[in-house]
Structure 1
Amino acid sequence: MQKNTMFKILNPILAVLTVTQTLSALLADHLSYVVFEWVHKGGGFLLLAGIGLHVV
């Protein structure tokens, strides 16, 4: 896969994950702990993996 094609796929995914992380942090008081943990921690791991792919 060419880098440009990979970035066209990866960049929107990273954008959605970044927005999800921000919203889950801002709405942490309104979410149950289970939902917060699933969304924020799981999304964080996916975001780190996506950033790792983006750098490589």
Structure 2
Amino acid sequence: MGKKGNRIQIILECSEQKKSGIGGVSRYVTTKNKRNTPKRIELKKYNSILRKYTLHKEIK
């Protein structure tokens, strides 16, 4: 049997695009260690619709 890890898959969604009301969604899928970072993470990622780096927040 394989051991269970602490890494879980999460989805990051652009918060600036949501506020602006522009259609479409910018999302990234990544992993995080739930033991080291129990809170939701925020990263700056590239948004191809807005064509700039924006703040992406973890969604459930």
Band the TM-score falls in, shorter-chain normalisation = under 0.3
Say which structure, 1 or 2, has more relative contact order (CA 8 Å, 6+ apart). 1
Bigger CA radius of gyration: 2
Higher strand share: 2
TM-score (norm 1): 0.26
TM-score (norm 2): 0.25
